[in-house]
A and B are shown apart, each in its own frame.
Chain A
Amino acid sequence: MATLNVVAPGSIAMADFKGKVDPDWCPGCGDFGVLAAVQKALVELQIPNHRVATVSGIGCSSNFPGFINTYGMHTLHGRSLPVATGLKLGNHELTVLVTGGDGDGFGIGCGHFVHAMRRNINLNYFVLDNQIYGLTTGQTSPTSRVGMKTKSNPYGNGDTPVNPITLALSAGATFVARGFSGDQKHLTELIKSAIQHKGFSFLDIFSPCVTYNKDNTFQWFRPRVKKLEENAEYDATNWVAAMEKATVWGDEIPIGKFYETTEIPTLEQTEPVLDDMPLIERELYIASDIAKKFVEELM
């Protein structure tokens, strides 16, 4: 299959990643910006569409795979990461992107989120975080702020929001970053770095919901977001510094790469079964001398 990967330099264009249908997101939704940034990153990295798999859960942002031309999987609510893990282990030569929302990833799928990061499998997890449930018409999400009034919490949310960045750092993610749909150029660079990183890349992306979240709008984020890359003193290899920065929230909200380490091997590197070839290329039948030994053990 390796010969299929050869492409002429520069031959991959935005049109190659255009999906079969146009997104049905609300006009002005933050997700449009994320989709464009992902497509742009894949073009800039010149990865052919048939070598990319996009796996999502369920929700507005989880309709993502249908709007980009790659091998896509639209799975169950909260289950994108285990499906993507199986897919990646079945063929680890594919670039696997996982997309979804904050409810999908930090609510119903939070258990998988933590364990996927522990494994350091080479997945790229992009959460389109709008701090609300959109497709179910506006309920509190795990990242909704305290006090936020929604249809499911008319008197205001009382639960402390999940901090995806500190959670990812403490679960062992080897690439942790935050982007903003309103800053295309910066987001595209983050996506490219995430894809190039070997290991689990987590990217929390502010992708405002223009219909149900009247608090965390583009206008609210724009003056607050501050790029870590513009701070010359910030060291993204320092885990403790990353933890500290991740707790900053208010007038200033840091975006950019919080942390990256290449010192931890990926799951694919530590699994000898994947050493010589992807699982999909293995012989169906087990070698007869090995099979014979398996039976002799029982005698």
Chain B
Amino acid sequence: MSQTFAIGIGGAAGQGVATPGDIFALIFSRRGLHLNAYNAYQSIIRGGHTFLTIRTGVDEVRSMGDGIDLLIPLNQDTMDRHLQLLTAGGACIYNADTIKPGAAAEGVQLCALPVSTMADITRNKVAQNTLALGAALSMMGVGFLSLESVIAGQFGRKGDAVVKENVDLARTGYDFASAHFKPFDKPLPLTGNRYAVLSGNTAMAMGGAAAGVKFYCAYPMSPSTGVLHWMAGHGRKAGIMVRQVEDEIGVINMAIGAAHAGVRSMCATSGGGFALMTEGLGLSAMAEIPVVAINCMRAGPSTGVPTKTEQGDLWQALGAAFGDFPRVIAAPLDIGDCFTLMHEIFNVTDKFQCPGIVLCDLLLSEGRLSVDPKLLDFNPKIDRGELITSNGDLSHGEYLRYKFTKSGVSPRAIPGLPGYTHTVASDEHEENGVLISDEYTNNTKRRAMMEKRMRKMVGIEAMVPPPVLEGPKDADVTLIGWGSTDGTIKEAREQLAAQGITANQLQIRWLVPLHGEAILRILRSAKHTIIVENNFSGQFARYLRSETSFVADGHIRKYDGEPFMPHHIVNAVHDQLAGATTLSVPTHEVMV
């Protein structure tokens, strides 16, 4: 297993956890290191408890990991909650004026900063943060110069005086630590690589922009709002119309309107907003207007836990809107995939003129990951499907918007062209768009139109790749996950391998269509299957069973609001292989 180094910074909301977090992230990525960051926070603007974990290393860092090497508590509460995460070789840097250390494990270095003697705390309320930042980087063996340049970038817009004050403070902390604290055993490595650091929300917004999205609208809802923020901040430069709208019903319907005009259009929300969008998704399917809706899942039901993660909306997505209609549903596997998935799903929805749903979750939406900048490709292959955009030969017969075809796809004329006027309809209709719902009800036509629409699923299934098994073929255990659990399961597999248990992994990215036959072929030869998911009822396990009749040997589920840590899965696999249980619900040991 590769070496990583994890920092935990905690405090009350408003105490300034984010800024040192951003600075650490920049320093790591500029040293050519990978990183993975997760912020456990609460739905409060001031107060409460926020705990940011940033984990870095030379190789890809797939999860937040299991513990931390350095703790920076900005208040007593954080010291009390998190000191237990440190093991021998770890360190805790804290303000000795205001925080009392607890009982640390043996070999943990308690680094007390006499903050009031180092800074004018009556003037600078967050002096302790910058002092700790300087001290930490000294102990990690990072040269001061790199910190100085990041501080200049971070505080530059607040003026030279603020930059100088913070550089001086960091220097004081840095020198104090050099003189008084023992450095970490291994200095932070340095490589020649350069990475981009981004959240899943930023990745989905950029992925949409790269896919050619020209219309984005949203109603703010945690944890999806980051998509709106990126779009709002970059839309004018990118030629994208970005609107904040009255509610999610307005959002989905506006997106459909713009999509009908002929532009790629996208929206993002969380479970509650998605619930409001569902009737609109049915309109998208019935009128055959492609649109992509992102659902950044949070712990539900109802208002639920707005700042905590869950994979609890699978059945909502599967059953979104009444009636039967073709749809695609995909769950990105990691933050890099949040970018890549967008153009892929748009190509499917455009080609098959149906709604697409992206099931992301808070872990990816608000987590941060380093990725190779080459992955952020703004020239992906774009397939807009059968679109009539110029009048060409006007001698064509009556234009049939919903023409019966073998594929179920009827060429789509963009409004504004002469010779193609037609009405798209949310009522059932015939080939030319005329309603057959009221006066001209016709069961033969209704059946034919249903079959035309549903035929599209055949083409969609052929376009979307089936999942593949990763890892040794004859492994002791097969872990099955979907979406955001990918990295944590991978890391758990590495830990299991080190302990003599071989594990392979079937991670599902495309949920609809599922490729049930291909999955069955893989799982039939598995020795012991365990489904890992972040929800109570085993939503994916139930879905898999409904589609394939496959019943897994065991389940690992978590629904406390926090994501899995690798050891949660490792311990559960041990229990289940020993026959102790078939359902493990790991406890999140730390209260965050």
**Residues on A facing B (Cβ under 8 Å):** 1, 4, 20-21, 24, 48-51, 53-55, 58, 63, 65-66, 69-76, 79, 82-91, 93-94, 111-112, 114-115, 271-274, 278-280, 282-286, 288, 290-291, 293-295, 298-299
Contacts and interface: CB of A to CB of B under 8 A. Distances in A.
Nearest to B253: A82
A76 B249 CA distance: 10
Nearest to A52: B421
A12 to B, nearest CB: 12
B304 to A, nearest CB: 24
Given A76-B253, A83-B253, A285 B280 contact: no
Contacts of B257: 55, 73, 82-90
B373 interface: yes
A92 B18 CA distance: 41
Contacts of B391: 4
Give the 3 A-B residue pairs with the shortest CB-CB distance, closest first.
Answer: A90-B261, A86-B257, A72-B423
A49 B263 CA distance: 21
22 contacts: A4-B391, A48-B418, A50-B421, A58-B426, A58-B427, A70-B421, A71-B422, A71-B423, A72-B433, A73-B424, A74-B425, A74-B427, A83-B253, A86-B260, A88-B257, A89-B261, A90-B257, A279-B241, A285-B210, A285-B378, A293-B237, A298-B196
Interface stretch (B402-410, B434-442, B580-588): B434-442
A112 B246 contact: yes
B210 A50 contact: no
B258 A298 contact: no
B5 interface: no
Contacts of B287: 73, 75
A247 B256 CA distance: 37
A80 to B, nearest CB: 9
Interface string B187-230: 00000001111100010001001101011010000000000000
A63 B435 contact: yes
A1 B239 contact: no
B260 A111 contact: no
A66 B423 contact: yes
Nearest to A79: B253
B interface majority secondary structure? mixed
B29 A91 contact: no
Contacts of A84: 257
B419 interface: yes
A47 to B, nearest CB: 12
B417 interface: yes
Give the one of B30, B384, B414 with max A CB within 10 A: B414
B569 interface: no
B118 interface: no
A279 B242 CA distance: 11
Nearest to A111: B246
A55 B287 CA distance: 13
A84 B258 CA distance: 8
B515 interface: no
Contact of B418 (A4, A53, A72, A299): A4
Contact of B382 (A49, A86, A114, A284): A284
Interface of B: 29-30, 194-198, 202, 206, 209-210, 212, 214-215, 217, 234-241, 243, 245-247, 249-251, 253-265, 279-280, 283, 287, 373, 376, 378-379, 382, 384, 391, 414-427, 432-435, 438-440
Contact of A273 (B236, B250, B414): B236
A75 to B, nearest CB: 6
A66 B435 contact: yes
Given A20-B423, A58-B426, 18 more contacts: A4-B391, A50-B421, A66-B425, A73-B257, A74-B427, A76-B253, A76-B279, A82-B257, A86-B217, A86-B253, A86-B258, A90-B257, A90-B260, A273-B239, A280-B261, A294-B378, A298-B197, A299-B373
Contacts of B439: 24
A85 B246 CA distance: 12
A65 B423 contact: yes
Contacts of A286: 209-210, 238-239, 378
A288 B426 contact: no
Give the one of A58, A85, A115, A271 with max B CB within 10 A: A85
B104 to A, nearest CB: 36
Nearest to B380: A285
A82 B245 contact: yes
Nearest to B237: A290
A86 B382 CA distance: 22
A295 B250 contact: no
B422 A72 contact: yes
Contacts of A285: 210, 212, 378-379, 382
Given A115-B250, A288-B378, A294-B234, A90 B262 contact: yes
A63 B435 CA distance: 9
Give the one of A55, A284, A293, A298 with max B CB within 10 A: A298
A163 B197 CA distance: 53
B376 A295 contact: yes
B92 to A, nearest CB: 30
A50 B419 contact: yes
B432 A20 contact: yes
Nearest to B199: A298
A276 B378 CA distance: 23
A126 B435 CA distance: 22
Contacts of A70: 421
Nearest to A69: B421
